[in-house]
Structure 1
Amino acid sequence: MHKSLHALFKHGKLVSAMLLAGALAGCAQSVDMQEQQVSLTQFVSDTQIGVQNEGASENNWWRRLDSPQLNNLVTDALAMNHDLKTSQLQLDAAIARLGAARADYYPQGSLSVGAERSSLDGAITRQSNAGVNVNWQLDLFGRITALVDAANAGALNQAEQLRALQVEVVSAVVQGYVSYQGNVQKKAIIEMQIEALEQSIDVLKARVEEGVANELDLNRTLAQLKQQQALLPELSYLQYRDLATLAVLTGRLASDITLVEEPELLSHEFSVSFTKASEAMALRPDITSALYQFSQAYSLSVAASKALLPDISLAGFAGVVSLTSNGLEDTVQQWQVTPKVEWSLLSYPALLAQRDAQQFLSEAAYSDYQSKVLKAISDSELTLQRLVKQQQQLSYADQRFNYANKAFGQAQAMYQEGQIPYLELLDARQDVLIAQENAVDSTIASLQAKVSAYQAFNGRWSFELNNL
């Protein structure tokens, strides 16, 4: 990184002081989101995170695995996941609240119709009226505007939370699918080991009966067999766990999902590349969500400051009144306009306390925003380090399998020539199968690391999810 995290803190404190000074002075209604985003993008670009992985577009990255089954699962998850539906409804509610806040710019009022019949000392009087009552809160000092800005930031924050959840769901589907297919392959390897051991046991039993082999070899082989058989229930459970995870993500029951084995998935060419790594980082929904939360708190702080100033409004009534009838007969027209100024001077201590509290919340929201940026940078760097580590381990695992396979071939030849005992041949075969299982584990871990990399650098591809 060209800038240290200490430099970010220094830069963040300077910007924070400038923004908070503006809030205290009441010079601005809301945070300049575009300016903040440009500054953030530039900072992330200066860190040079992920530039070594820049290349092809990351949009629809999971399709590079060339699995129609996986593609369908992702599409189903985006359409049927219940958490996504909940978040979408929360976004709809936030948009509705924004509409309610904007309505305060305009006159509010009601239509009223009434009738009255009363008696005083035996004299009965009747009266009726109908009219429109209007009240217009004038936004001369910008309090309503600040509340609208806060509601707008709240809606945008909820939209970013929905996008973050979409990223989480898509990544979880791909990881769950890779894990499922990997466990299928591991179970197949264990079954091959069991089959090989059972064949060996049949041979050893015959040789023991002939007196050529001893029971020590037979019992050691039986122990290995039981060791491998004990792994099958665990792998069956892991497969069901992956299936249940995918079922929840796609809004179904595990019994409603049937997956076809795809052994070629683990050997499919799948690399990590981003069009612009810095933009992918800066546009992460967790960062932009924190920025909108700060903008919302800042706008509410402005509104709390404006509450110290007088409220100016216009109230009006226009209608008809009948003083002799309950049925609006023989009416006369009536109207009135009432300018009104209200200043809550006696409530000043409470209003000052509310303003101070909201300003502290604004500072806290900005501190949380800084924290989210730091965590995102750390997360992305750690993810890339994990990617390198898994690729190296996969290379060593593949080499181990190749050497174990060669050793088994040599052991077979030596056993046929009588140079080694049968147990050494058996150990060599076990080494091959264990090395193969380790290679599958490393392949799964490498694929998972690649998925995590796309999850960390999600700022660009997450915007394309709604276009699927």
Structure 2
Amino acid sequence: MDRHILLLAAVFTLGGCMHNRPYERPPSPVPAAWTEGTAQPAAAGAVQGPEVPWREFFSDSGLRSVIETALANNRDLRMAALNIERAQALYRIQSAQRRPTVAVSATGNVYRLPKDMSVAGINVGEAVTIQQYTLNLGAASWELDLFGRIRSLKSAALEQFLATEQARSATQLALVSGVASSYLSLAADRESLRLAESTLEAQQASYDLIRQIRDSGMASDLDLRQAQSQVEAARVDIARYTGQIELDGHALNLLAGAPVPPSLLPNELGAGSAMKEIAADLPSEVLLRRPDILTAEHQLKAAYANIGAARAAYFPRIALTAGAGSMSSDLTKLFNAGAGTWSFAPQISLPIFDSGARKSTVKVAETDRELAIAEYEKSIQTAFREVSDALSRRIRLREQHVAQQALVNSLEQANRIADARYQAGMDSYLTVLVAQRALYQSQQGLVSLRLAELANQVALYKALGGGGGG
């Protein structure tokens, strides 16, 4: 007897060791830090992106209000929240299988036996009516999880639930950055529209002045038509930016999940659109806190747990069915002394030959784990590249901004000189026309560069896995 117990214990121990392989986080497939070409020393007051909640990162109160509206109404985020509830329910279902299911049942059975039927204990030759009433409380087919099959399935369900939670965080972070990008695009297009309108006003004034001079015989028709071409070009830009502003508003309303009040919409890329400076001298391990990478890691842990469940199929499955209650042929005597009844039905099963199905199931689970590892490593590499791109672009955009601002300043002086020389009769109006067009294009280019800088800052915040839930 002792030998049997020891043998059974050894089988149980072997089973636990065979399939309970601990999870190991794969080594990071990227460098420990970003290259010198992208990472620079942190500026004074710079913050670490992953640690800053979005309410602190964005200083524009209007933008914060729009983001809050989106978090409350966006349908993508709502679907992500519903997916969490579904995953939580599935986890509870799987977790409940570790405990026995207890139910109470009551049955009544009344039937008639004809007189030509011969039944033990019943008089033959006469018809009888048999009554049977049963009340039972018991557990049906409760599996003893001696080899960890149910525990592994529960662990897999838990990791799937946690992965769903992280997927919602990733959706929220993407929503916050998407709203910010759309908000900034609207601000830039509105600023460009105002610049086009002020240009149109100035060009219209020049056109009116040149027409008066032409009527007095001191200017040519060519000068008038050249001035008119500037007026029409400004009108084209006004129509284009007006249409783009409408599209920006539609996109922002879709992200917000509701119409955004006009009072919250930006007028320009001013100081209100400023964001906190993000430090670049961060170790790459901060990427491990990105929601999408955490999602991939939970999926990997679930794959490990599924291997344990698959390997447990090599061991016996033991299930218990038990119950206790009362039985009587008379409903009024169902609870009398002596009417008690009980049952106990243990069951053990172990496939002997399955044509390699169990081995193939384990192989599928192990392949799923390798796929999950590859997906996890790819998500880290993708995140590293996104941060590297944003850091490199930030440096180059700053250089372009400085050069573009210098270009605008230079063209402003050139425009004043060209206008003065025309007024003095030293140059034709074509010189003024070229100077005005160059200045206008450089000013629009400066607006575009400022937008690109702000949008890149939002992209860097997102790439670092900034506190979208803050």
Answer whether TM exceeds 0.5 for this pair. Answer: yes
> Could you list the per-position Cα deviations for residues 339-368 of structure 1 after superposition, in whole angstroms to 9, with x for gaps in the alignment?
221113344533332222222222111111
Q: Give 1:308 deviation, angstroms.
A: 2.5
Between Structure 1 and Structure 2, which shows a larger proportion of helix residues? Answer: 1
* Residue type of the alignment partner of 1:228: A
Q: Does 1:249 align with 2:255?
A: yes
Query: Are 1:239 and 2:226 counterparts?
Result: no
3-state SS of 2:47 partner: coil
1:129 maps to 2:134: yes
Distance 1:327 1:204, change over 3 A: farther
* Equivalent position of 1:422 in the other structure: 429
User: 2:196: which partner in 1?
Assistant: 190
Amino acid at match of 1:385: S
Answering whether residue 405 of structure 2 is matched by residue 409 of structure 1, we say: no
Aligned length: 436
Mapping for residues 337-416 of structure 1, pairs under 5 Å: 337-347=344-354, 349-416=356-423
1:298 positional shift: 2.1
- Residues 126-169 of structure 1 show CA distances to partners (whole Å, capped at 9, x for unaligned) of 00101112132111111111101100110111111111111100
Contact 1:312–1:341 under 8 Å retained in 2: yes
* Structure 1 residue identity aligned to 2:132: Q
Contact 1:308 1:348 in 2 (8 A): no
- Structure 2 match to 1:67: 60
2:18 maps to what in 1?
A: 26
How much does 1:117 deviate?
0.3
What RMSD over aligned residues (CA atoms) do the two structures have, in Å?
2.7
Query: In 1, are the aligned partners of 2:34 and 2:283 still within 8 Å (CA)?
Result: no
Among residues 118, 141, 149, which one is paired with 1:143 in the alignment? 149
Q: Cα 1:291–1:267, aligned 2, differ >3 Å: closer, same or farther?
A: closer
Q: Distance in 2 between matches of 1:309 and 1:402?
A: 81
Alignment of 1:94 onto 2:109: no
1:386 aligns to what SS in structure 2?
helix
Find 1:52's aligned residue among 9, 29, 40.
40
> Which residue pairs with 1:180 in the alignment?
186
Cα pair distance change 1:242/1:363, threshold 3 Å = same
Residue 80 of structure 1: aligned partner: 73
Post-superposition CA distance 1:277-304 (Å, at most 9, x none) = 5343221111111111111122112211
Q: Which has the larger radius of gyration?
A: 2
Contact 1:53 1:272 in 2 (8 A): no
Contact 2:144/2:318 (<8 A) preserved: yes
**Counterpart contact for 1:321–1:333, Cα < 8 Å:** yes
Q: In 1, Cα distance between the equivalents of 2:166 and 2:110? A: 58
Q: 1:118 maps to which residue?
A: 111
Q: Which residue of 1 aligns with 2:453?
A: 446
Q: CA deviation at 1:321?
A: 0.6
- Give 3-state SS (helix, strand or coil) of 1:230's partner: helix
Structure 2 residue identity aligned to 1:56: V
1:14 corresponding residue in structure 2: none
User: SS at 2:378's partner residue?
Assistant: helix
- Mark the CA change 1:178 to 1:46 in structure 2 (over 3 Å): closer, same or farther: closer
CA contact (8 A) 1:109 1:133 kept: yes
Which deviates further from its counterpart, 343-352 or 245-254? 343-352
Shift of 1:433: 2.1
Q: CA deviation at 1:101?
A: 1.3
For the Cα contact (< 8 Å) 1:243–1:257, is it kept in 2?
A: no
In structure 2, relative to structure 1, the CA distance for the partners of 1:151 and 1:269 (3 Å cut) is closer
**Secondary structure in structure 2 of the residue aligned to 1:345:** coil
- Is the deviation greater in 110-119 or in 80-89? 80-89
TM-aligned CA distance change 1:321 to 1:61, over 3 Å: closer
Alignment counterpart, residue 177 of structure 2, candidates 171, 175, 178? 171
SS of 1:253's equivalent?
Answer: coil
Deviation at 1:94, TM superposition (A): 0.9
Secondary structure (helix, strand or coil) at the match of 2:371 reads helix
Unmatched 5+ stretches in structure 1 = 1-22
Which segment drifts farther, 325-334 or 341-350? 325-334
- Aligned CA distance change for structure 1 residues 277 and 261 (closer, same or farther; 3 Å): farther
Structure 2 alignment gaps of length 5 or more: 1-14, 115-126
The match for 2:120 is none
Cα distance in 2, alignment partners of residues 106 and 377 from structure 1: 44
